[in-house]
Amino acid sequence: MATINTNIKPKPMTLYYSTSSWSSQPQPSDKTVEYWKHAAEKKNWRIVQLPNGFYQTECQDPNKETWIDVTRRETIEGAEQAIDASIKHYEKKLGFLHGPQVVKTFE
């Protein structure tokens, strides 16, 4: 079998890429911030016992008389710890609305 000799050379491959950046983080809506403030108060939470014996934590909807189920736990103590952790979570989110927070400094 004869080989064919050609002068075709492979062309270099050109890769295209693009980058972008934000000058600031996207800000949450006013409705979202109001929910965070509402969820950061323990008076807006409750614990209910389900028919299967588990405990469900619920946060009241700020605009309605309904409750939003959040977590389920085996014990009432576990449910209350989950509420406390959720409150800390929302407090932290509210704190970051004012920008980055210093967590450590050096001399």
Given a cut of 80, whether residue 105 has pLDDT beyond it is: yes
Q: Which helix (H) or strand (E) holds 72?
A: strand 67-73
Residue with the larger pLDDT of the pair 64 and 53: 53
Single pTM value for the model: 0.69
pLDDT class of 79 with cuts at 50, 70, 90: very high
Q: Where are the domains of the chain?
A: 30-96
pLDDT of residue 2: 63
Q: Are the C-beta atoms of 47 and 79 separated by less than 8 Å?
A: yes
pLDDT of residue 14: 75
Per residue in 17-58, pLDDT (tens digit) is: 776 655 566 788 999 999 999 999 999 999 999 999 999 999
Which of 39, 88, 26, 90 has the alpha carbon at shortest distance from 67?
Answer: 39
Residue 52 CA to residue 65 CA, distance in Å, equals 25
Q: Are the C-beta atoms of 38 and 44 separated by less than 8 Å?
A: yes
